[in-house]
Chains A and B, each alone.
Chain A
Amino acid sequence: MKTQVPAGHLDYRGFTALIVFLIGMKIFDGGMSFLVRQSGHGAPIVLTLGALFVGAAVWMGVKMMLLCPGMNWLEALSAVIPRGFVHFFGLFLFAASLLDTGVNLRLQMDSIAVLFLRNTPTVFLFALFCLGILFVAFQGLETISRVCSIMLPYLVGGILLGIALLYPYMHTSFIYPLPGIPVGEILRNTMPDTSIFAEILMIVMLAPYARKPKDLTKGIIRGMLLSYFMLILILLLIIFIFDADGAALVPWPFQQALQTIYINRYIQHLDAFFAFIWVAAEFLRFIITFYVSCLILAIVLKLSDHRPVIPLNIAMVFVIGTWGSSIYQVTEFRTNFMFPFIGFPSCAALLVLSIYGNWRLKKKQKRGAKNEAA
């Protein structure tokens, strides 16, 4: 089961950057608008509960992996759960990460086409991104994480700059009515909305590449916190600018808000600068999701090297991404299928299986210690 991947080693900075690019980048996609459309003024509460749920799940996952040093989450799981189930779950994760890459990449290309390049065919943009991803995926995980680490300060700085420049357009009273929706609805909406953090599962698959176990835990804590703060800040920002009812009507509220920035007659149209950060950051996000999908497939197929599956995977991403005929069809697929049937079950599985794995592994260890003593 163990796969040897020439991927290098990651320190905590690498893990932090990977998580931020995987999860924090949701500020740019339609996820923010979806959250507000679904939960109205209750969206920040729903997002926070989702983060707490996924935080608990990933904490249990990390705890389990610390009991099995040098293994990824699936490998650690196979020590306590029937192999067939682990294989099946591995295939599910592979399909999920591939769909995540294909569908979200397609939606990003559509948003670029709507907001900036209306004459350029989406297929061409999609193919261009796929080529880029194909090239970078061969460079390995360490290269990807380093690029993410380099890019992270620019991303965070750019977002903070955007928030500062948008301050004059914000009205904090738009946060009311609070909590916006009844408690039952908050809990019900939290389930599909945990999908926003579902990519954290990909990080637990990268655990063996941590330089030290501490790098993994530190990286995950920092990455999760930074991603959460980015998401909640932008969510609050769009509510403060558009009000929840207004934000629900625009598919990319953050980008639309950035278009209104006016410093003076010499400095206008700053959204072009943010568009550059956005496209670069999204490119990195999809490289990570794609790379992890290749890694999972290699693990499931028991390959010693993940590189042979890269061309096949990119072809599948291309097919998935170009499948839907319109942005509405793809968005509906993501909202009605991926969020409830892939995102939430993945996070729930991470929590449940990790709790079970922890319990079994600790039991095994105790038994082993007893046997040794005997």
Chain B
Amino acid sequence: MKQHKRWMLLLPTILLLFMTGCWDRHELEEISFITAVGIDLAPGNKTDITLQSSSPSGQAADMGGGGGKGSSVDETITFTVEGPLTAQHLGNTIVSRSLSFVHMQVLVVSEEYARKRNILSMIASAVREQSFRRDMLLVVSQGRADEYIRKNKPILEKFTHKYFELIYPLWKETGLWPNVHLHTYLRSVDIGKGLPIAILGSSQDPSIARTKQEDTYQNQSNYQRQLPSKKGDNPFKQERQMDNFLYGKEFRKQGGNSVNMMGSALFRGGRMIGKLGAADTQLLLMVQGEIMRFNRSFTDPIKPNQKNVIGIHFTSAGKPKIELEWDGNKLKSIHETIRLDGRVEANQTRTNYATNIQNLKTLSDHIDRSLSKQANDLVKEIQTEYKGDPFFFDWEGRKHFHYDEEWRRFNWADAFSRAKVSIDVKTNIRFTGKQLEEPGWYHAVNHQ
């Protein structure tokens, strides 16, 4: 028994001999981890590949560990090449360490590249590579990808890749960009029925954005330009563009990191066909049933003509209910019911929504109609403009079919574009915040 125990203790030590990795053994000192890759158009039908790499020993030194020289651990290089693997090898003509994709956080593709070329040709060859993983983010930058990577200088983080690691999960809190990894993008492409989406990012300087206001206008789709902004127009349409920056326009800011994530890029296969602003991304995620939490502003239904707004924080109250109506193999209509829980986060209007149940019901009805109208408008616009389905309705549609071949042959994009879609949002306002009325309410009422 004693001898048996001795062997048991010795076994892990012996096993260590077999865990050295044989020919693949690398000292940490010898590796530089690529954390971001950028893809841009280059002259002569070539591609600019940007590699941002980080050395683990440098990071350890910066974090108080031993070894390495400390600051400036990121290295960004751009090459003009034919394919991504060539770039990895070319990288090693400059970087003294072996380049590895194992810890890659983000793949950035410039909008120009995504619109003019099929990004799948680049990605499909890369995913074969051993260390290329499917859990990285896919970002389409509204500018050059190398700029997006280079300008990423997070204020609160020491390391650039941590920015993406930390900011990405916040989609759950805001819904301002979609929940997209390379895996989800590739899965959508494999399924081949809907429009795959990617995160929309921007590295444009606010001052540049202001001077390029016209360009931004040109880049907007027709329906975005057609939105009314006049007072007295349909209040739901006004509410859809209420937080203007959420609506695909550059938002003005000063300070902070130069790059951001906001909105979504729509693809057909490997080619980008359009983009959605942040507010529409919230609606998209809501219709997909992916949204968790988000904020939206609404006009006061009781005092509709005043400028002040009510801010509502929404949380998902369960998966949406989707019903499809078929006439044989012809899709007639789609009806979706979305349930949300709401919380009055801000009330500038001084209407009593805290203790007056009737007012609260009026507000709740108004929100239901507004969000339903906004979602229906978005679906209609995507049906007519992009003729495809980024909402995952095909996941329900496939239930109608019995055989794979039948489903593969079925033109879902066409069926979806012709179908009558109705979205019904039902909100339950559960809380009105920890303040019944704004401070000084009695005084203000008496004064009026």
The 7 closest A-B pairs by CB, nearest first: A246-B190, A177-B401, A120-B22, A40-B404, A120-B23, A119-B23, A173-B395
19 contacts between A and B (CB under 8 A): A42-B404, A114-B130, A116-B24, A118-B130, A120-B21, A121-B23, A128-B18, A169-B183, A178-B402, A179-B403, A180-B402, A180-B403, A242-B190, A243-B190, A244-B404, A245-B191, A245-B404, A260-B183, A265-B162
A120 and B25 alpha carbons, distance in the complex (Å): 9
Q: Is A181 an interface residue (CB 8 A)?
A: yes
Given contacts A119-B23, A179-B403, A249-B190, 13 further A-B contacts (CB under 8 A): A120-B22, A125-B22, A171-B395, A173-B398, A173-B399, A177-B404, A180-B404, A181-B403, A243-B190, A244-B404, A246-B191, A259-B134, A265-B166
How many residues belonging to A are interface residues under a CB distance threshold of 8 Å? Answer: 39
- Residues in B with CB closer than 8 Å to A118 are 24, 130
Give the size range of B's interface with the partner: 20 to 34
In the complex, which residues 149-179 of chain B have their Cβ closer than 8 Å to any Cβ of chain A?
162, 165-166
Q: Is B135 an interface residue (CB 8 A)?
A: yes
CB < 8 Å: which of A125, A241, A246, A260 contacts B135?
Answer: A260
Check if B133 sits within 8 Å of A259, measured CB to CB.
Answer: yes
A261 and B186 alpha carbons, distance in the complex (Å): 16
Q: Is B63 an interface residue (CB 8 A)?
A: no
Q: Is A56 an interface residue (CB 8 A)?
A: no
A169 and B165 alpha carbons, distance in the complex (Å): 18
In the complex, which residues 370-417 of chain B have their Cβ closer than 8 Å to any Cβ of chain A?
395-396, 398-399, 401-404, 406-408
- Residues in B with CB closer than 8 Å to A125 are 22
Q: Is B212 an interface residue (CB 8 A)?
A: no
In the complex, which residues 169-186 of chain A have their Cβ closer than 8 Å to any Cβ of chain B?
169, 171, 173-174, 176-182
A188 to chain B, nearest CB (A): 15
- Residues in A with CB closer than 8 Å to B133 are 259-260
What 0/1 pattern do residues 114 to 133 of A give for CB contact below 8 A with B? 11111111001100100000
Check if B130 sits within 8 Å of A246, measured CB to CB.
Answer: no
Q: Is B302 an interface residue (CB 8 A)?
A: no
A69 and B181 alpha carbons, distance in the complex (Å): 58
Residue from the set A115, A117, A177, A246 with the largest chain B CB neighbour count within 10 Å:
A177
Write the chain B residue with the least CB distance to A247.
B190
Q: Is B192 an interface residue (CB 8 A)?
A: yes
Check if A117 sits within 8 Å of B21, measured CB to CB.
Answer: yes
- Residues in B with CB closer than 8 Å to A176 are 398-399, 401
B404 to chain A, nearest CB (A): 4
Q: Is B330 an interface residue (CB 8 A)?
A: no
- Residues in A with CB closer than 8 Å to B187 are 241-243, 246
Which B residues lie at the A interface, using CB under 8 A?
Answer: 18, 21-24, 102, 130, 133-135, 162, 165-166, 181, 183, 186-187, 190-192, 395-396, 398-399, 401-404, 406-408
In the complex, which residues 105-154 of chain A have their Cβ closer than 8 Å to any Cβ of chain B?
114-121, 124-125, 128
Check if B24 sits within 8 Å of A117, measured CB to CB.
Answer: yes
Q: Is A269 an interface residue (CB 8 A)?
A: yes
In the complex, which residues 242-299 of chain A have their Cβ closer than 8 Å to any Cβ of chain B?
242-246, 249, 256, 259-262, 265, 269
Check if A262 sits within 8 Å of B135, measured CB to CB.
Answer: yes
- Residues in B with CB closer than 8 Å to A42 are 404
Check if A245 sits within 8 Å of B23, measured CB to CB.
Answer: no
What 0/1 pattern do residues 18 to 48 of A give for CB contact below 8 A with B? 0000000000000000000000111000000
A30 to chain B, nearest CB (A): 16
- Residues in B with CB closer than 8 Å to A242 are 187, 190
A243 to chain B, nearest CB (A): 5
Residue from the set A125, A244, A245, A256 with the largest chain B CB neighbour count within 10 Å:
A245
With A115-B130, A246-B186 already in contact, the answer to whether A177 and B22 are too (CB < 8 A) is no
A102 and B376 alpha carbons, distance in the complex (Å): 60
- Residues in A with CB closer than 8 Å to B165 are 265
CB < 8 Å: which of B22, B134, B183, B404 contacts A181?
Answer: B404
